[in-house]
Chain A
């Protein structure tokens, strides 16, 4: 079991460029999440998905889009990167439930936008 994997681990973008971050999980989890972590801000939820084909906005969705075409994958897209999107991005997954399960996190992607 690889758990939750994220691709890439590091990336540097120029302002206005686009990119897609890939999250994959092999635990057959129903729920998947994208967070960003900034100094002093903790983890903030960008978007999440409660199942294949579904997505929903979290706390800080602006400037990002997501897709969950396959249950095991959750993609985070930046259409036109801005320096404010410089952050560490974490993907997570959890089993179907009513909030009782912990989230399993990927190793993170460090993104710098210049």
Chain B
């Protein structure tokens, strides 16, 4: 069965520090997709990144970077030089490739990140 674990419930760091949000997943499929979403205090859910199981290249987008390691079933998210605007709840999610049109995404419980000025 699919499972996504975000062990860090809440993290607080001082502005400009780097912070890593952990995500560990479980799946029996060989083809799957991993996602990160951001939920700022305003409440909307914003898609950040998607990674498929065959692409283990790390990705960097500005101050954001993602480290995907199949060997440890992890898809961690790092924010470099954090800013107050990064304060949000971050969700990691997993979707298994389905051929029976059962396209569900399983979300972790989220990590609430506080960036202190």
Contact = CB atoms under 8 A, between A and B. Distances in A.
Given A99-B32, A105-B44, A42 B103 contact: no
Contacts of A92: 45
30 contacts: A33-B104, A40-B9, A40-B109, A42-B107, A42-B108, A42-B110, A45-B104, A50-B101, A50-B102, A50-B103, A51-B101, A58-B104, A88-B43, A92-B45, A94-B103, A97-B103, A98-B31, A98-B97, A98-B99, A98-B103, A99-B96, A99-B98, A99-B103, A99-B105, A100-B95, A102-B35, A102-B37, A103-B47, A107-B44, A108-B43
Which of B45, B99, B107 has most chain A Cβ within 10 Å? B45
Interface of B: 9, 31-33, 35, 37, 43-45, 47, 50, 52, 91, 95-99, 101-105, 107-110
Nearest to B107: A43
What is the interface of chain B mostly: helix, strand, loop, or mixed? loop
Contacts of B103: 31, 50, 94, 97-99, 101
Given A42-B91, A43-B91, A58-B104, A102 B47 contact: yes
Interface of A: 31, 33, 40-43, 45, 48, 50-51, 56, 58, 88, 90, 92, 94, 97-105, 107-108
A28 B45 CA distance: 20
A97 B96 CA distance: 11
B97 A99 contact: yes
Contacts of A101: 50, 103
A56 B101 CA distance: 11
| A-B CB proximity, top 6 nearest | A42-B109, A99-B95, A105-B45, A102-B47, A43-B107, A50-B101
